[in-house]
């Protein structure tokens, strides 16, 4: 397993970050076995993964943080915990209480990376940062990160804070950050934590055509606005997406590899990427993706894969919001 620093910090994290949202179960993930969640964390540690990402906003009962804390209770010194504060708690009077509640659920006295889950334009970001800096001074958090921040929000927060990371969607089929967000992050030494590196399963080759894609996945801007759960008004680019998926599958076949392995390796080898956030509901799912973190693509393969998805990138433009035409990542 390879390790990178979180932005300008001295904190080293594995390139494979275990996404712990599935541990919440609930309406998004369905029933989730607690023992499976805990064994997944233990398997991650055994395979060199030290970076674990969760959030207070994952399900109504904060189940994800609680399960992760229980799983790491005897391995805290071997792990790096990232969690997130919800936008509704970014008001200065709410911040420390939200942090304390996360600390209690996680069973720890410090959080390595405390991330703003989404921007909240109803609060003064400087006031919020002042409170977050107080948490650093008290030893409750070690560093501050953001999630889903576009260039304007990054510029605003960089005026008042030293941000370590930006957690953002990035994969072969979702490349809007390459226009503006990625260059801004490189210029300011902000590490990229990339979520949805397999495009919610599209890049696994699991789906052969658009009709096979479940409603919960086909609500993204890659798909037509008529999809049942779509919350955008766009035509989508389904034809281009599945032409690209077929070409990626063919390259993987020629190399004797799984399409998911190529997709993860492509994202991992992009500039300024700190970690890929990969979810797993059990240790078997976790172990399926481990080999991609020891596998490097040749430069010509990287360029070929990029060319294959250039038409999708052009269609999406610089709006990195996966689900809304009105870009919430301003």
Q: What's the CA gap between 6 and 114, in Å, rounded? A: 12
Whether 52 and 69 have beta carbons less than 8 Å apart is answered as no
Annotated catalytic, 315? no
Phi and psi angles of residue 51, each rounded to the nearest 5 degrees, phi first: -115, 120
Catalytic pick among 3, 58, 170, 295: 58
Strand 165-169 vs strand 144-147: parallel, antiparallel, or unpaired?
A: parallel
Q: What's the CA gap between 211 and 314, in Å, rounded? A: 23
| Residue of 176, 220, 168 whose CA lies nearest to 194 | 168
Phi and psi angles of residue 14, each rounded to the nearest 5 degrees, phi first: -70, 150
The alpha carbon dihedral of 274, 279, 280, 284 has a sign of negative
What is the DSSP secondary-structure string of 42-99?
HHHHHTT--EEE--TTSSTT-HHHHHHHHHTTT-GGG-EEEEEE-GGG-SHHHHHHHH
Q: What's the CA gap between 15 and 276, in Å, rounded? A: 6
Q: Tell me which residues are annotated as active site.
A: 58
């Amino acid at each position: 397993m390879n390790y990178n620093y979180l932005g300008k910090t001295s904190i080293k994290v594995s390139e494979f970050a275990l996404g712990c949202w599935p541990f919440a179960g609930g309406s998004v993930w369905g029933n989730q076995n607690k023992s499976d969640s805990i064994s997944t964390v233990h398997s991650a540690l055994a395979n060199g993964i030290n970076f674990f990402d969760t959030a207070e906003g994952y399900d109504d009962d904060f189940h994800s943080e609680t399960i992760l804390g229980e799983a790491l209770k005897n391995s805290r010194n071997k792990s790096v915990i990232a969690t997130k504060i919800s936008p509704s708690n970014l008001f200065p009077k709410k911040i420390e209480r939200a942090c304390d509640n996360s600390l209690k659920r996680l069973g720890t006295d410090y959080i390595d990376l405390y991330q703003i889950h989404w921007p909240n334009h109803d609060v003064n970001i400087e006031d919020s940062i002042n409170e977050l800096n107080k948490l650093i001074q008290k030893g409750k958090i070690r560093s501050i990160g953001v999630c889903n921040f576009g260039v304007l929000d990054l510029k605003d927060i960089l005026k008042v804070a030293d941000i370590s990371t930006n957690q953002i969607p990035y994969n072969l089929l979702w490349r809007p950050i390459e226009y503006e967000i990625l260059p801004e992050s490189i210029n300011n030494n902000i590490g990229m934590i990339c979520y949805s590196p397999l495009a919610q399963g599209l890049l696994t080759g699991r789906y052969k055509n658009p009709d096979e894609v479940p409603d919960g996945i086909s609500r993204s801007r890659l798909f037509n606005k008529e999809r049942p759960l779509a919350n955008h008004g766009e035509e989508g680019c389904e034809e281009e997406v599945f032409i690209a998926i077929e070409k990626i599958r063919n390259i993987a076949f020629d190399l004797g590899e799984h399409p998911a392995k190529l997709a993860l390796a492509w994202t991992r080898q992009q500039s300024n990427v700190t970690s890929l956030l990969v979810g797993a509901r059990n240790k078997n799912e976790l172990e399926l993706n481990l080999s991609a973190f020891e596998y490097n693509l040749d430069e010509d393969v990287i360029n070929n894969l990029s060319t294959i998805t250039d038409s999708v990138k052009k269609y999406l433009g610089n709006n990195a919001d996966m689900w809304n035409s009105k870009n919430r990542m301003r």
